[in-house]
Chains A and B, each alone.
Chain A
Amino acid sequence: MELIKLDFYTQGVLSIAALIGLTSFLMLGQGRLLRLIFVFALQGLLLVLATALAGYSMENSHLYISAAITLVLKVFLIPWMLQKQVYKLNLHRDVETLKNSTAVMLGGATLVVFSYYVLHPVIQNSSVVLVNALAVGLSLVLLGMLLMISRHHAIAHVVGFMSIENGLFFAAIVSTRGMPMVVELGIAFDVLVAAILFGIFFLHISSSIDSLDVDQMNRLNEVDQ
């Protein structure tokens, strides 16, 4: 397969898929919260591009609508809300030291390979774009989880959570040209409500345990004291 010989849409989507994968790795290696949020917004922007590109090549107007929703939600609203929280809780100067960053990166790479392996059965009956897109989507989901596991900060967890959502969205857009409109609206609504709830939670957590370090949340467990 030579990239040059493929049509414009395929080339575009493959490049965007690669870039989206890259942003996930950037998030894994980013200790500053504000930059983490910026990279997340960037990932959202790439997602908007992919959606718009799909809409353009399929001449499908409903994809433009979902591109617009993503633009508002994932590129502007949610990053803005998170940023506001960071300033409000005075966390913008904090740098989280990343433990085992080599292991985390290698783990991330393994997860990407694993995604390709899981989706291997799909390869036999589909196009190049699809296999890559689904694999990148799944690796985004897994990398988001890895981000949540490797961090101690609640805001980093939310960014991980939202980037999982991005991965799902990307897989849906490229493999099936988006979900039916009702479903997509429902998902967007859920994401919005989740974002608002996260904001409320940051306040509650920081007022009850005085920090947003989730390691402090260890009162409920099954271990004998």
Chain B
Amino acid sequence: MIAAYLLLLMPLVGVVFFALFGHRPRIGRINIKFNAFALLMSFWLALNVHKSGTLVSEGLYFLVDSFNVYLIVLTAFVGLTTSIFSAPYMRHEQQKGRLTEKRLRLYYSMYQGFMFAMYLVLTTNNMGILWVAMEAATLATVLLVSLYRTPESIEAAWKYFILCGVGIAQAMFGTVLLYYAAMQISDAENALNWTVLIENASQLNPEIMEISFVFMLVGYGTKIGLVPLHNWLPDAHSEGPTPMSAVLSGLLLNDALYAVVRNKMIVDGTTQTNIAGYLMMGFGLLSFLVAAIFLHRQQDIKRLFSYSSVEHMGLMTFAFGMGTPFSTFAALLHMTVHSLTKSAIFVTVGHAAQIAGTQQIDKIRGLIKTQPSVGWGLLIGTLAIAGFPPFGVFTSEFLVLLATMQSYPWLTPFLLLGIGLACAGLFRNIQPMVYGKRPEGQQAVEANLWPVIIHLVLVLWLGLSIPQSLSDWFNQTTILISGSAPL
């Protein structure tokens, strides 16, 4: 458990440290060190869980099991690679005069604040604290979305703040109902603890739990970006600094889905039916299809990829909703590969936008000639996210398709349609950006593409062969979530 405490403590120290020293010239590297430390801690934690199974802290405040430990490692990993990207990126932005020292301090401080909120969401055992941390994640990132202080970015941040705030208020109401249901069977202090809830799930009142889940799904679903609650997402992703888009897409959305799945596990235990799953399938499929269509009408490169995030989150929600061991396994794999691929893409997109000096798709041209590394990164990243073999996204989407054919064969055409639409939507925009005619005077920028390479190699590896230890891990998690093993 010490690893978990250190994991939480370090970003808290970071918030204060960077608020004071965040404007110093080499601060980007220190940010990397903070995140590297968090990654080490998360490995240590994973090792502990691997050795001794589920860990519960004294007083039941924290819980680390195979489900959240894998997300913790993923969060820490993406947090680290994004910070590696962010160091030269923010220096570039500062040199161009888009950022003052004060805002740089805010940026680094809130980067750590956001990481803290994410780790707290994942490690806490208390459904109330989970809510508080989720809201804290919004609060930490809202000023980062408006970091450039353009009218657009302020509008995006306001939308993000209001929509997510109101949305997550629904989840609070769900939590109140959950607490009320749990009060009937447990003492007041422990009634919101997940471990207590899951043990006594069958004794909870099914009707109250169903209403509670609806509120939870709408509330956390706003943060997942489920259609029709997704409006804030493309705005916030497109107007904020690119490292923020990478962590929002790669981490925040996952953790919101994590909250929904945790609740689903309790509700499933109570109702013994898949009612919660049907709701998730409906919302998920709708998001998947609508986002795939919207990919075709985007004019801003970051908006394009944020709709792609909505699409993939929809697919994961759908797969978790089906609730069979097979589909749960696929959803877990998809969560991993999507996070890795999408944050890699946002890194290259950030550099592409810096090269072209704009985010307008029709003004970004000829990347592969100006800076081949960025061009290839974007192209390969897009291939991976569109679900081409041999990348990991192909494997996980294929598994989702198989699981659908097994349980709900009549839904398969919708999925195929969505995947096809999304692929077309991405490539009609990406192809001219990568290969098109290079504009006069376009210059290469200082870029660190190691995060992209590492992420894409990992995704490729996961597509070619999933290592035994990882598949065991996913297996354990699947047993935890859906009750039996997929393989």
Contacts and interface: CB of A to CB of B under 8 A. Distances in A.
B156 interface: yes
Contacts of B235: 220
Interface stretch (A25-33, A102-110, A164-172): A164-172
B169 A141 contact: yes
A183 B192 contact: yes
Contacts of A21: none
Contacts of B149: 204, 208
Given A201-B158, A201-B161, A217-B158, A176 B211 contact: no
Contact of B211 (A121, A186, A217): A121
B128 A176 contact: no
Contact of A200 (B143, B162, B175): B143
A222 B297 contact: yes
A218 B158 CA distance: 12
Given A171-B176, A197-B139, A200-B143, A183 B129 contact: yes
A182 B188 CA distance: 12
Contacts of A201: 146, 154, 157-158, 161
B452 interface: no
Contacts, number: 129
Contacts of A224: 297
Contacts of B234: 220
Interface in B118-144: 126, 128-129, 131-133, 135-136, 139, 142-143
A119 interface: yes
B165 interface: yes
A128 interface: no
B152 interface: yes
B189 A180 contact: yes
A18 B179 CA distance: 24
B294 A222 contact: yes
Interface in B180-210: 180, 183, 188-189, 191-192, 205, 207-208
Nearest to A181: B189
A190 B161 CA distance: 13
Interface residues of B, number: 50
Interface string A180-207: 1011001101100110011011001100
B166 A172 contact: no
Interface in A68-120: 118-119
Contact of B169 (A164, A193, A197): A164
Interface string A119-130: 101100100001
Interface in A147-175: 148, 154, 157, 161, 164-165, 167-168, 171-172, 175
Contacts of A121: 207-208, 211
Contacts of B207: 121-122
A197 B166 contact: no
Contact of A171 (B157, B173, B183): B173
Given A168-B169, A182-B126, A219-B155, 12 more contacts: A148-B166, A180-B128, A180-B188, A186-B128, A187-B132, A187-B172, A190-B135, A201-B157, A204-B146, A217-B155, A219-B152, A220-B239
Interface of A: 118-119, 121-122, 125, 130, 134, 137-138, 141, 144-145, 148, 154, 157, 161, 164-165, 167-168, 171-172, 175-177, 179-180, 182-183, 186-187, 189-190, 193-194, 197-198, 200-201, 204-205, 208-209, 214, 217-220, 222, 224
